[in-house]
Structure 1
Amino acid sequence: MADVSLSAHQLSLFYSQIQLRRFDDSTLRILELILSSKDVKLLLELRSKLKEFLRSQSLIAIREAAEKPIEHKLLILEFLVRAFAIVDDIESCLAVRYEGLIMRDTWTVNHLELRVSCSEWMNFAEDAFNNEYYSVTAKACENALLCLKEEEGDYNCDNLWGNTWTISKIQRLEDIAIRLSTCHSVQGQAAEYMRKKTMSIKKSSFSEVAESTASMCFRDGIKQQNIRNLLRLKNQ
């Protein structure tokens, strides 16, 4: 009973912190404390509530920050990535990570320090692949190759072998992701999904560029995964 009461108090405190837009380490520590309960049933209930709350609040926070500086927007996204990871919401965590990478890419012209490295795109591509978001994996690999091309000026003859090996690794992952994405895609449903989602995504992204490249591509990948899960259930 005491565990339930303590969790309720911590949950209320966390809600308050988020609504006050205190996106910092102290708020994340409260979140970790909430999910430290030893009661499995209670833990599942709390995790479900937190996922729903974070998803709804993240959209509101993103809209509110539309006119804020890029640094402020990225801090919010970084917080959300960590929060979604703590509550084990892999889908939202990857979606926000992708949004942040695309946003940095978009602003690189004016903010060179925001440039996304090839290794960052590759880390994301591998995480997306491991969670069966194949179309997103392929896009991330494409971006990784573009980054590598831009970084070629930083390489010398001693790095040539390593650069070639990296390109080969990225291309192999991209080819596998494209094949798997094609095998499992349902063209009609995916097209309908994209049509319906276009307007809602535009309302929640930080910029039009980020909307069209990041959210739409990632959500398409999510849709394909959901379709695959449905097909598996039907075949059982």
Structure 2
Amino acid sequence: MPGVIAETTSLFRSQIEDGSFSDVSLQILESVLVAKDVRALLEIRSSLQEFLRFHAKSVMDRIAAKTVDEKLNVAEFFVKAFALVGDVESCLALKYEALVLRETKYYNNNGFRVSYQEWYNFAKNSLYNGYYAIAVKGFNNALSCFQSELNADGNTGDYFMKDNIVDKIRKLRDEASAMISSSSVQALTSKYLKRKATECEQRCSLLPTNSQQAASSMFRLGINKRNERKLYQSQRKKQQMSVP
């Protein structure tokens, strides 16, 4: 069985390297992810995630000048591939790119353009998985699409329902924005506390030697001054005694 999985994995890798982004390649990938050994499955997934990340970026860069259809097909392929190997972040990143490509191609075609509901579901999925920056972009696009759909529909009825939808999207967008700020503050606070802890350790490591030296100097200086004062007082007494 391990030998079969290794061969299948190699076949999938060669498909990607040869530029075969088809349903057949996805079926091969699915057949790889059937290992019953949990540890082996995790290792396979980790290896394929790294492989797909590298090639997804490489391929998307390479086809930047291609038609929207070609880029869209490749992006959607990698969305499905990342979903299969459990790479949520990469899946959402490519999903966003695929939605933007669709929006670009079918902007004036109401039958094929991205609906506000698609953007909303994407943004909500991004938010709940902790990818707040992507979520904010998704919610903004959902609001924009919702307004465009209203304008295209020309239906001005049921304002209450429409306001509810807009409010719901805005609240979730604001929640995602707040999470970005919170994460930034937490990161800065963590860095600050680590720096202060390091500075404190450094001061503490130097404190015993420096403080002992300072105390010793002050102690010696005090003794010298006291001795000088006693000597001066003794000399004065002698002088007074010697006066007739």
TM-score under structure 2 length normalisation:
0.71
Q: Could you say what the CA RMSD is over the residues aligned between the two structures, in angstroms?
A: 2.4
1:173 aligned to 2:172? yes
Greater relative CO (CA pairs within 8 A, separation 6+): 1
Give the residue type in structure 1 aligned to 2:50. Answer: E
How far the C-alpha of 1:108 sits from its partner, in A, is: 4.5
Contact 2:123 2:136 in 1 (8 A): yes
Q: Hey, what does 1:64 align to over in structure 2?
A: 62
C-alpha separation in 2, matches of 1:185 and 1:115: 35
How far the C-alpha of 1:67 sits from its partner, in A, is: 2.0
Gaps of 5+ in 1: 187-223
How far the C-alpha of 1:165 sits from its partner, in A, is: 2.1
Q: Hey, what does 1:151 align to over in structure 2?
A: 149
Q: Hey, what does 2:202 align to over in structure 1?
A: none
C-alpha separation in 2, matches of 1:70 and 1:111: 15
Q: Deviations over 1:87-145 (max 9, x none)?
A: 00011001101112223334445776653211111011111101112222122111111
Contact 2:89 2:131 in 1 (8 A): no
Contact 1:77 1:96 in 2 (8 A): yes
C-alpha separation in 2, matches of 1:159 and 1:96: 36
Computing the radius of gyration over CA atoms, which structure comes out larger, 1 or 2? 2
Q: Hey, what does 2:103 align to over in structure 1?
A: 105
Q: Residues 58 and 111 (structure 1 numbering): CA distance in 2 closer, same or farther, change over 3 Å?
A: farther
Q: How does 1:193-204 map to 2 (within 5 A)?
A: none
Contact 2:116 2:145 in 1 (8 A): yes
Contact 1:94 1:128 in 2 (8 A): yes
C-alpha separation in 2, matches of 1:83 and 1:147: 28
Q: Hey, what does 2:28 align to over in structure 1?
A: 30
Contact 2:133 2:176 in 1 (8 A): yes
Q: How does 1:1-236 map to 2 (within 5 A)?
A: 3-108=1-106, 115-153=113-151, 154-186=153-185
C-alpha separation in 2, matches of 1:136 and 1:129: 8
C-alpha separation in 1, matches of 2:69 and 2:55: 20
Give the residue type in structure 2 aligned to 1:181. Answer: I
C-alpha separation in 1, matches of 2:111 and 2:33: 35
Contact 2:93 2:134 in 1 (8 A): no
C-alpha separation in 1, matches of 2:60 and 2:174: 34
Q: Hey, what does 2:234 align to over in structure 1?
A: none
SS of 2:36's partner is coil
C-alpha separation in 1, matches of 2:175 and 2:107: 32
C-alpha separation in 2, matches of 1:177 and 1:56: 28
Gaps of 5+ in 2: 195-244
Q: Residues 122 and 109 (structure 1 numbering): CA distance in 2 closer, same or farther, change over 3 Å?
A: closer
Percent of paired sites with the same residue: 41
